[in-house]
Amino acid sequence: MKVFKLAASAAILAWASAAQAQTPLTMWYHGAGNEVESKIITQIITDFNASQSDWKVELQSFPQAAYNDSVVAGALAGNLPDILDVDGPNMPNWAWAGYLQPLQIDDSRIATFLPGTKGMWNGQLYSIGLWDAAVALVTRQSTLDELGLRAPTLDQPWTGDEFMAALDAAKAAGKWDYPLDLGMAWTGEWYPYAFSPFLQSFGGDIIDRSTYQTAEGALNGDAALAFGDWWQGLFQNGYAQATQDPADRDGGFAAGKYAFSWNGNWAALGALSAFDDTVFLPAPDFGTGAKIGAASWQFGVSASSKHPEGAAAFIEFALQDKYLADFSNGIGLIPASPTAAEMVDTYKAGGPLSVFVAYSASQGLVRPVTPGYVVQAKVFEKALADIANGADVAATLDAAVDEINADIGKNNGYGH
Protein backbone atom coordinates (compact mmCIF):
# COMPACT_ATOMS: atom_id res chain seq x y z
CA MET A 1 0.00 0.00 0.00
CA LYS A 2 2.83 2.31 0.94
CA VAL A 3 4.56 1.65 -2.35
CA PHE A 4 1.36 2.38 -4.19
CA LYS A 5 0.97 5.69 -2.34
CA LEU A 6 4.54 6.66 -3.11
CA ALA A 7 4.09 5.82 -6.77
CA ALA A 8 0.86 7.80 -6.92
CA SER A 9 2.51 10.77 -5.24
CA ALA A 10 5.40 10.62 -7.65
CA ALA A 11 3.02 10.48 -10.59
CA ILE A 12 1.05 13.45 -9.30
CA LEU A 13 4.26 15.41 -8.72
CA ALA A 14 5.49 14.56 -12.18
CA TRP A 15 2.20 15.63 -13.70
CA ALA A 16 2.15 18.83 -11.65
CA SER A 17 5.68 19.79 -12.63
CA ALA A 18 4.90 19.04 -16.28
CA ALA A 19 1.79 21.21 -16.06
CA GLN A 20 3.80 23.99 -14.48
CA ALA A 21 6.37 23.79 -17.25
CA GLN A 22 3.75 24.35 -19.91
CA THR A 23 3.81 27.85 -21.38
CA PRO A 24 0.31 29.33 -21.44
CA LEU A 25 -1.20 30.26 -24.81
CA THR A 26 -4.33 32.37 -24.81
CA MET A 27 -7.04 31.70 -27.35
CA TRP A 28 -10.20 33.58 -28.36
CA TYR A 29 -13.07 31.80 -30.03
CA HIS A 30 -16.44 33.00 -31.30
CA GLY A 31 -18.56 30.13 -29.97
CA ALA A 32 -19.90 31.38 -26.60
CA GLY A 33 -23.53 30.48 -26.24
CA ASN A 34 -23.23 27.56 -28.64
CA GLU A 35 -23.07 24.57 -26.34
CA VAL A 36 -22.11 22.01 -28.97
CA GLU A 37 -19.35 24.13 -30.48
CA SER A 38 -17.98 25.06 -27.06
CA LYS A 39 -17.86 21.42 -26.04
CA ILE A 40 -15.88 20.40 -29.11
CA ILE A 41 -13.35 23.22 -28.92
CA THR A 42 -12.88 22.56 -25.20
CA GLN A 43 -12.25 18.88 -25.97
CA ILE A 44 -9.61 19.75 -28.57
CA ILE A 45 -7.87 22.06 -26.11
CA THR A 46 -7.97 19.43 -23.36
CA ASP A 47 -6.51 16.84 -25.71
CA PHE A 48 -3.80 19.21 -26.92
CA ASN A 49 -2.79 20.25 -23.42
CA ALA A 50 -2.52 16.61 -22.40
CA SER A 51 -0.66 15.57 -25.54
CA GLN A 52 2.54 17.53 -24.89
CA SER A 53 4.38 19.34 -22.15
CA ASP A 54 5.36 22.60 -23.85
CA TRP A 55 2.09 24.49 -24.24
CA LYS A 56 -1.15 24.99 -22.40
CA VAL A 57 -3.98 26.63 -24.31
CA GLU A 58 -6.41 28.72 -22.26
CA LEU A 59 -9.72 29.56 -23.92
CA GLN A 60 -11.86 32.68 -23.78
CA SER A 61 -15.12 32.35 -25.69
CA PHE A 62 -17.05 35.29 -27.10
CA PRO A 63 -20.59 35.47 -28.46
CA GLN A 64 -20.35 35.49 -32.24
CA ALA A 65 -22.32 38.71 -32.66
CA ALA A 66 -19.82 40.58 -30.49
CA TYR A 67 -16.66 38.79 -31.52
CA ASN A 68 -15.27 41.02 -34.26
CA ASP A 69 -15.75 44.19 -32.21
CA SER A 70 -14.04 42.53 -29.26
CA VAL A 71 -11.04 41.58 -31.38
CA VAL A 72 -10.72 45.10 -32.80
CA ALA A 73 -10.93 46.57 -29.28
CA GLY A 74 -8.44 43.99 -28.03
CA ALA A 75 -6.04 44.92 -30.83
CA LEU A 76 -6.33 48.62 -30.00
CA ALA A 77 -5.61 47.88 -26.36
CA GLY A 78 -2.66 45.68 -27.29
CA ASN A 79 -4.42 42.79 -25.69
CA LEU A 80 -4.79 40.16 -28.41
CA PRO A 81 -4.39 36.48 -27.53
CA ASP A 82 -1.95 34.05 -29.15
CA ILE A 83 -4.59 32.17 -31.12
CA LEU A 84 -7.79 33.61 -32.50
CA ASP A 85 -10.40 32.59 -34.99
CA VAL A 86 -11.49 34.80 -37.83
CA ASP A 87 -14.30 34.71 -40.35
CA GLY A 88 -12.66 33.91 -43.71
CA PRO A 89 -13.54 37.10 -45.61
CA ASN A 90 -12.37 39.28 -42.69
CA MET A 91 -8.94 37.67 -42.57
CA PRO A 92 -7.24 39.98 -45.14
CA ASN A 93 -8.40 42.99 -43.15
CA TRP A 94 -7.02 41.64 -39.90
CA ALA A 95 -3.75 40.66 -41.59
CA TRP A 96 -3.44 44.07 -43.23
CA ALA A 97 -4.28 45.82 -39.95
CA GLY A 98 -1.52 43.90 -38.21
CA TYR A 99 -3.69 41.68 -36.04
CA LEU A 100 -2.48 38.43 -37.61
CA GLN A 101 0.84 36.96 -38.65
CA PRO A 102 1.42 34.30 -41.32
CA LEU A 103 0.56 30.83 -40.11
CA GLN A 104 3.51 28.45 -40.10
CA ILE A 105 2.12 24.96 -40.50
CA ASP A 106 3.13 22.02 -42.59
CA ASP A 107 1.63 22.49 -46.07
CA SER A 108 1.21 18.75 -46.53
CA ARG A 109 -1.30 18.74 -43.66
CA ILE A 110 -3.73 20.87 -45.64
CA ALA A 111 -2.96 19.72 -49.17
CA THR A 112 -6.33 18.03 -49.58
CA PHE A 113 -8.38 20.64 -47.68
CA LEU A 114 -11.23 22.39 -49.46
CA PRO A 115 -9.94 25.56 -51.14
CA GLY A 116 -12.29 27.80 -49.17
CA THR A 117 -10.74 26.72 -45.88
CA LYS A 118 -7.33 28.21 -46.68
CA GLY A 119 -7.00 31.85 -45.76
CA MET A 120 -4.45 33.27 -48.17
CA TRP A 121 -3.34 36.91 -48.22
CA ASN A 122 -0.43 38.36 -50.15
CA GLY A 123 0.62 34.87 -51.16
CA GLN A 124 0.88 33.59 -47.60
CA LEU A 125 -1.31 31.38 -45.45
CA TYR A 126 -2.73 33.34 -42.52
CA SER A 127 -5.56 31.12 -41.39
CA ILE A 128 -6.99 27.67 -41.83
CA GLY A 129 -10.52 26.39 -41.34
CA LEU A 130 -11.69 23.09 -39.94
CA TRP A 131 -14.79 23.30 -42.07
CA ASP A 132 -16.41 25.15 -44.92
CA ALA A 133 -19.99 26.03 -45.71
CA ALA A 134 -21.92 25.82 -48.96
CA VAL A 135 -25.23 27.03 -50.28
CA ALA A 136 -27.64 25.11 -52.47
CA LEU A 137 -31.06 25.48 -53.96
CA VAL A 138 -33.23 23.40 -51.67
CA THR A 139 -36.41 21.85 -53.00
CA ARG A 140 -38.28 18.53 -53.14
CA GLN A 141 -38.03 15.86 -55.80
CA SER A 142 -41.83 15.82 -55.86
CA THR A 143 -41.78 19.55 -56.68
CA LEU A 144 -39.43 18.97 -59.60
CA ASP A 145 -41.62 16.12 -60.84
CA GLU A 146 -44.84 18.06 -60.38
CA LEU A 147 -43.50 21.05 -62.30
CA GLY A 148 -41.87 18.87 -64.95
CA LEU A 149 -38.39 20.21 -64.28
CA ARG A 150 -35.06 18.67 -65.12
CA ALA A 151 -32.91 17.94 -62.07
CA PRO A 152 -29.78 20.08 -62.51
CA THR A 153 -26.38 18.55 -61.79
CA LEU A 154 -22.94 19.88 -61.00
CA ASP A 155 -21.90 19.27 -64.60
CA GLN A 156 -25.11 20.63 -66.01
CA PRO A 157 -26.59 23.19 -63.65
CA TRP A 158 -29.65 25.14 -64.64
CA THR A 159 -29.00 28.08 -66.88
CA GLY A 160 -30.43 31.41 -65.81
CA ASP A 161 -33.34 30.87 -68.21
CA GLU A 162 -34.03 27.40 -66.83
CA PHE A 163 -33.94 28.78 -63.30
CA MET A 164 -36.45 31.49 -64.14
CA ALA A 165 -38.61 28.96 -65.98
CA ALA A 166 -38.65 26.86 -62.83
CA LEU A 167 -39.74 29.87 -60.79
CA ASP A 168 -42.40 30.68 -63.38
CA ALA A 169 -43.71 27.14 -63.22
CA ALA A 170 -43.86 27.28 -59.43
CA LYS A 171 -45.61 30.62 -59.54
CA ALA A 172 -48.14 29.34 -62.09
CA ALA A 173 -48.86 26.29 -59.97
CA GLY A 174 -50.20 28.61 -57.26
CA LYS A 175 -49.38 26.10 -54.57
CA TRP A 176 -46.81 28.14 -52.67
CA ASP A 177 -46.84 31.64 -51.14
CA TYR A 178 -43.70 32.46 -53.10
CA PRO A 179 -41.68 30.37 -55.55
CA LEU A 180 -38.34 31.29 -53.94
CA ASP A 181 -37.07 31.86 -50.39
CA LEU A 182 -33.85 33.85 -50.64
CA GLY A 183 -33.46 34.29 -46.90
CA MET A 184 -34.01 38.04 -46.96
CA ALA A 185 -34.69 37.90 -43.22
CA TRP A 186 -30.99 37.25 -42.68
CA THR A 187 -29.02 40.43 -42.97
CA GLY A 188 -25.31 41.18 -42.63
CA GLU A 189 -22.79 38.79 -44.12
CA TRP A 190 -25.54 36.62 -45.63
CA TYR A 191 -25.99 39.16 -48.43
CA PRO A 192 -22.47 39.11 -49.88
CA TYR A 193 -22.01 35.43 -48.99
CA ALA A 194 -25.21 34.18 -50.58
CA PHE A 195 -25.98 36.76 -53.27
CA SER A 196 -22.66 38.04 -54.62
CA PRO A 197 -22.10 34.64 -56.33
CA PHE A 198 -25.17 35.42 -58.48
CA LEU A 199 -23.50 38.68 -59.49
CA GLN A 200 -20.26 36.82 -60.19
CA SER A 201 -22.11 34.25 -62.27
CA PHE A 202 -23.52 37.10 -64.34
CA GLY A 203 -19.92 38.22 -64.94
CA GLY A 204 -19.72 41.07 -62.47
CA ASP A 205 -18.18 41.29 -59.00
CA ILE A 206 -18.09 43.44 -55.89
CA ILE A 207 -14.68 44.70 -56.93
CA ASP A 208 -12.24 44.34 -59.80
CA ARG A 209 -10.11 41.48 -58.53
CA SER A 210 -7.29 42.10 -60.99
CA THR A 211 -6.18 45.18 -59.01
CA TYR A 212 -8.52 45.43 -56.00
CA GLN A 213 -8.29 49.19 -56.53
CA THR A 214 -11.70 49.92 -57.98
CA ALA A 215 -15.23 48.59 -58.26
CA GLU A 216 -15.74 50.55 -61.48
CA GLY A 217 -16.94 48.22 -64.20
CA ALA A 218 -17.21 45.25 -61.87
CA LEU A 219 -20.14 46.43 -59.79
CA ASN A 220 -21.73 48.79 -62.30
CA GLY A 221 -20.76 47.36 -65.69
CA ASP A 222 -23.15 45.69 -68.13
CA ALA A 223 -23.01 42.34 -66.32
CA ALA A 224 -23.70 43.96 -62.97
CA LEU A 225 -26.60 45.95 -64.43
CA ALA A 226 -28.05 42.75 -65.87
CA PHE A 227 -27.71 41.16 -62.46
CA GLY A 228 -29.33 44.17 -60.79
CA ASP A 229 -32.31 44.09 -63.14
CA TRP A 230 -32.71 40.36 -62.60
CA TRP A 231 -32.41 40.80 -58.81
CA GLN A 232 -35.03 43.53 -58.73
CA GLY A 233 -37.30 41.48 -60.97
CA LEU A 234 -37.34 38.65 -58.45
CA PHE A 235 -39.18 40.90 -56.03
CA GLN A 236 -41.17 43.08 -58.40
CA ASN A 237 -42.54 40.06 -60.21
CA GLY A 238 -43.54 38.22 -57.07
CA TYR A 239 -40.95 35.45 -57.13
CA ALA A 240 -39.57 36.34 -53.70
CA GLN A 241 -40.15 38.67 -50.75
CA ALA A 242 -37.99 41.76 -50.30
CA THR A 243 -38.70 41.67 -46.58
CA GLN A 244 -39.24 38.41 -44.81
CA ASP A 245 -40.38 37.33 -41.37
CA PRO A 246 -37.49 35.53 -39.63
CA ALA A 247 -39.93 32.76 -38.70
CA ASP A 248 -40.56 32.15 -42.41
CA ARG A 249 -36.86 31.91 -43.06
CA ASP A 250 -36.50 29.32 -40.32
CA GLY A 251 -39.60 27.29 -41.04
CA GLY A 252 -41.18 28.54 -44.26
CA PHE A 253 -39.83 25.82 -46.54
CA ALA A 254 -40.83 23.07 -44.11
CA ALA A 255 -44.28 24.66 -43.83
CA GLY A 256 -44.70 24.49 -47.59
CA LYS A 257 -44.63 28.24 -48.18
CA TYR A 258 -41.83 28.14 -50.73
CA ALA A 259 -41.10 25.85 -53.67
CA PHE A 260 -37.35 26.59 -53.57
CA SER A 261 -35.12 27.84 -50.79
CA TRP A 262 -31.62 29.31 -51.18
CA ASN A 263 -30.03 28.05 -48.01
CA GLY A 264 -26.85 26.71 -46.47
CA ASN A 265 -25.75 23.21 -45.57
CA TRP A 266 -26.17 24.06 -41.87
CA ALA A 267 -29.94 24.07 -42.45
CA ALA A 268 -29.93 20.96 -44.62
CA LEU A 269 -30.70 18.39 -41.93
CA GLY A 270 -33.75 20.39 -40.90
CA ALA A 271 -35.00 20.39 -44.49
CA LEU A 272 -34.40 16.64 -44.75
CA SER A 273 -36.33 16.00 -41.57
CA ALA A 274 -39.24 18.02 -42.95
CA PHE A 275 -39.43 16.14 -46.25
CA ASP A 276 -37.91 12.76 -47.12
CA ASP A 277 -37.57 13.77 -50.76
CA THR A 278 -35.64 17.00 -50.12
CA VAL A 279 -32.95 17.57 -52.74
CA PHE A 280 -30.08 20.07 -52.79
CA LEU A 281 -29.54 21.47 -56.25
CA PRO A 282 -26.41 23.27 -57.45
CA ALA A 283 -26.46 27.01 -58.05
CA PRO A 284 -27.71 28.09 -61.47
CA ASP A 285 -25.30 29.36 -64.09
CA PHE A 286 -26.12 32.89 -65.27
CA GLY A 287 -23.47 32.94 -67.96
CA THR A 288 -19.96 32.67 -66.55
CA GLY A 289 -20.30 29.49 -64.49
CA ALA A 290 -22.25 28.57 -61.40
CA LYS A 291 -20.83 30.08 -58.21
CA ILE A 292 -21.42 29.84 -54.48
CA GLY A 293 -19.69 31.56 -51.56
CA ALA A 294 -16.77 29.92 -49.77
CA ALA A 295 -14.73 30.37 -46.59
CA SER A 296 -16.05 30.17 -43.07
CA TRP A 297 -14.44 30.58 -39.65
CA GLN A 298 -10.72 29.82 -39.51
CA PHE A 299 -7.89 29.76 -36.97
CA GLY A 300 -4.92 32.11 -37.06
CA VAL A 301 -2.07 33.41 -34.92
CA SER A 302 -2.09 36.97 -33.65
CA ALA A 303 0.73 39.27 -34.70
CA SER A 304 1.49 40.04 -31.06
CA SER A 305 1.87 36.40 -30.04
CA LYS A 306 5.21 35.75 -28.36
CA HIS A 307 4.81 32.04 -29.05
CA PRO A 308 3.73 31.65 -32.69
CA GLU A 309 5.28 28.20 -32.83
CA GLY A 310 3.09 27.05 -29.93
CA ALA A 311 0.00 28.64 -31.47
CA ALA A 312 0.74 26.96 -34.79
CA ALA A 313 1.30 23.66 -33.02
CA PHE A 314 -2.17 23.89 -31.52
CA ILE A 315 -3.78 24.77 -34.84
CA GLU A 316 -2.00 21.89 -36.54
CA PHE A 317 -3.16 19.58 -33.75
CA ALA A 318 -6.75 20.74 -34.28
CA LEU A 319 -6.60 19.81 -37.98
CA GLN A 320 -6.88 16.10 -37.23
CA ASP A 321 -9.67 14.38 -39.13
CA LYS A 322 -11.41 13.29 -35.94
CA TYR A 323 -11.89 16.91 -34.86
CA LEU A 324 -13.02 17.95 -38.32
CA ALA A 325 -15.55 15.15 -38.13
CA ASP A 326 -16.60 16.17 -34.61
CA PHE A 327 -17.34 19.71 -35.74
CA SER A 328 -19.23 18.44 -38.75
CA ASN A 329 -21.32 16.08 -36.66
CA GLY A 330 -21.87 18.76 -34.06
CA ILE A 331 -22.74 21.82 -36.08
CA GLY A 332 -23.45 20.37 -39.51
CA LEU A 333 -20.70 22.07 -41.51
CA ILE A 334 -18.64 20.50 -44.28
CA PRO A 335 -15.44 18.79 -43.07
CA ALA A 336 -12.38 20.48 -44.55
CA SER A 337 -10.72 17.27 -45.76
CA PRO A 338 -12.15 14.42 -47.84
CA THR A 339 -10.85 11.86 -45.34
CA ALA A 340 -12.74 13.58 -42.56
CA ALA A 341 -15.85 13.77 -44.74
CA GLU A 342 -15.73 9.98 -45.03
CA MET A 343 -15.96 9.80 -41.22
CA VAL A 344 -19.24 11.72 -41.18
CA ASP A 345 -22.37 9.81 -42.08
CA THR A 346 -24.09 12.78 -43.64
CA TYR A 347 -21.12 13.88 -45.76
CA LYS A 348 -19.47 10.60 -46.73
CA ALA A 349 -19.90 9.34 -50.28
CA GLY A 350 -23.58 8.56 -50.76
CA GLY A 351 -24.52 10.49 -47.62
CA PRO A 352 -27.51 12.81 -47.80
CA LEU A 353 -25.36 15.94 -47.69
CA SER A 354 -22.40 14.70 -49.72
CA VAL A 355 -23.38 16.95 -52.63
CA PHE A 356 -22.35 19.94 -50.55
CA VAL A 357 -18.75 18.70 -50.51
CA ALA A 358 -18.76 18.62 -54.29
CA TYR A 359 -20.49 22.03 -54.55
CA SER A 360 -17.97 23.56 -52.17
CA ALA A 361 -15.02 22.10 -54.08
CA SER A 362 -16.32 22.93 -57.57
CA GLN A 363 -18.44 26.07 -57.27
CA GLY A 364 -16.97 27.74 -54.18
CA LEU A 365 -15.56 31.21 -54.76
CA VAL A 366 -14.06 33.16 -51.89
CA ARG A 367 -15.32 36.67 -51.38
CA PRO A 368 -12.94 39.42 -52.54
CA VAL A 369 -9.59 38.81 -50.84
CA THR A 370 -8.88 42.34 -49.77
CA PRO A 371 -8.77 44.26 -46.48
CA GLY A 372 -11.41 46.56 -47.93
CA TYR A 373 -13.91 43.71 -48.07
CA VAL A 374 -15.32 44.54 -44.63
CA VAL A 375 -16.53 47.87 -46.01
CA GLN A 376 -17.41 46.55 -49.45
CA ALA A 377 -19.62 43.87 -47.93
CA LYS A 378 -21.73 46.46 -46.14
CA VAL A 379 -21.99 48.66 -49.22
CA PHE A 380 -23.02 45.66 -51.30
CA GLU A 381 -25.62 44.63 -48.74
CA LYS A 382 -27.19 48.07 -48.69
CA ALA A 383 -27.23 48.31 -52.48
CA LEU A 384 -28.95 44.94 -52.85
CA ALA A 385 -31.50 45.75 -50.17
CA ASP A 386 -32.25 49.09 -51.84
CA ILE A 387 -32.62 47.49 -55.27
CA ALA A 388 -34.87 44.79 -53.84
CA ASN A 389 -37.05 47.56 -52.45
CA GLY A 390 -37.34 49.31 -55.80
CA ALA A 391 -34.35 51.68 -56.02
CA ASP A 392 -33.02 52.54 -59.48
CA VAL A 393 -30.54 49.80 -60.37
CA ALA A 394 -27.94 51.83 -62.28
CA ALA A 395 -27.94 54.74 -59.84
CA THR A 396 -27.70 52.47 -56.83
CA LEU A 397 -24.80 50.47 -58.23
CA ASP A 398 -23.00 53.66 -59.31
CA ALA A 399 -23.37 55.04 -55.79
CA ALA A 400 -22.05 51.78 -54.36
CA VAL A 401 -19.03 51.95 -56.66
CA ASP A 402 -18.33 55.52 -55.58
CA GLU A 403 -18.52 54.56 -51.92
CA ILE A 404 -16.23 51.56 -52.33
CA ASN A 405 -13.71 53.53 -54.39
CA ALA A 406 -13.71 56.38 -51.88
CA ASP A 407 -12.98 53.92 -49.09
CA ILE A 408 -10.13 52.35 -51.05
CA GLY A 409 -8.71 55.82 -51.69
CA LYS A 410 -8.96 56.76 -48.02
CA ASN A 411 -7.00 53.65 -47.12
CA ASN A 412 -4.30 54.12 -49.74
CA GLY A 413 -5.32 51.08 -51.72
CA TYR A 414 -5.31 48.72 -48.74
CA GLY A 415 -1.75 47.62 -49.43
CA HIS A 416 -2.37 45.87 -52.75
Among 105, 146, 266, 415, binds another protein (CB under 8 A): 266
Q: How many helices (H) and strands (E) does the chain have?
A: 17, 15
From the list 1, 76, 111, 349, which residue makes contact with another protein (rule: CB under 8 A)?
76
Nearest distance, CB of residue 264 and another protein, angstroms: 9
Residues 6+ apart with CB under 8 A from 199: 205, 206, 219, 223, 224, 227
> Phi, psi (5° rounding) for residue 165?
-65, -35
Q: Is 188 one of the binding residues for another protein (CB under 8 A)? A: no
39 binds another protein (CB under 8 A): no
Q: Which of 32, 105, 242, 303 binds another protein (CB under 8 A)?
A: 32
In whole angstroms, how close is the CB of 250 to another protein at the nearest point? Answer: 6
Query: CB-wise, 9 or 273, nearer to another protein?
Result: 273
273 lines the binding site for another protein (CB under 8 A): no
Counting Cα atoms < 13 Å in the Cβ hemisphere of 60 gives 15
Residue 1 interacts with another protein (CB under 8 A): yes or no: no
Q: Are strands 278-281 and 334-335 parallel, antiparallel or unpaired?
A: unpaired
Q: Which of 92, 88, 95 is nearest to 133 (CA)?
A: 88
Binding mask 192-231 for another protein (x = CB under 8 A): ----------------------------------------
Work out how close the CB of 333 gets to another protein at its nearest, in angstroms, rounded to a whole number: 11
3-state SS assignment for residue 327: helix
Residue 256 binds to another protein (criterion: CB under 8 A)? no
Contact 106, 316 (CB under 8 A): yes
| 251: contact with another protein by CB under 8 A | yes
CA distance 251 to 248: 5
Give min distance, CB of 138 to another protein, in A. Answer: 15
Comparing C-alpha atoms, which of 29, 33, 35, 31 is closest to residue 59? 29
Piece of the chain touching another protein by CB under 8 A; list 1-9, 62-70, 208-216, 370-378:
62-70
Contacts of 275 (CB under 8 A, 6+ apart): 140, 142, 254
User: Does residue 342 sit in helix, strand or coil?
Assistant: coil
CA 42 to CA 189: how far, in whole Å? 27
> Residue 223 and residue 205: Cα distance in Å, rounded?
9
Task: Sort 45 into a burial class: Cβ within 10 Å, 0-12 / 13-18 / 19+.
Answer: buried
Q: Residues 228-247 vs another protein: string with x where CB under 8 A?
A: ------------------xx
Residue 69 within binding range of another protein, rule CB under 8 A: yes
In the complex with another protein, which residue's Cβ is closer, 29 or 239?
29
Looking at beta carbons only, is 79 or 288 nearer to another protein? 79
**CB of residue 340 to another protein, shortest distance in Å:** 22
- Provide the minimum distance between the beta carbon of 31 and another protein in the complex, in angstroms, as a whole number: 9
Compare residues 74 and 179 and give the one whose CB is closer to another protein.
Answer: 74
Q: Which stretch binds another protein (CB under 8 A): 31-39, 119-127, 214-222, 322-330?
A: 31-39
78 binds another protein, rule: CB under 8 A:
yes
C-alpha distances out from residue 96 to 18, 66, 138, 372, 414, Å = 38, 21, 37, 10, 7
- Work out whether 389 is an interface residue with another protein (CB under 8 A): no
The number of beta carbons lying within 10 Å of the beta carbon of residue 168 is 14
Residues making contact with another protein (CB under 8 A):
28, 32-35, 60-66, 69-70, 73-74, 76-79, 81, 246-247, 250-251, 266
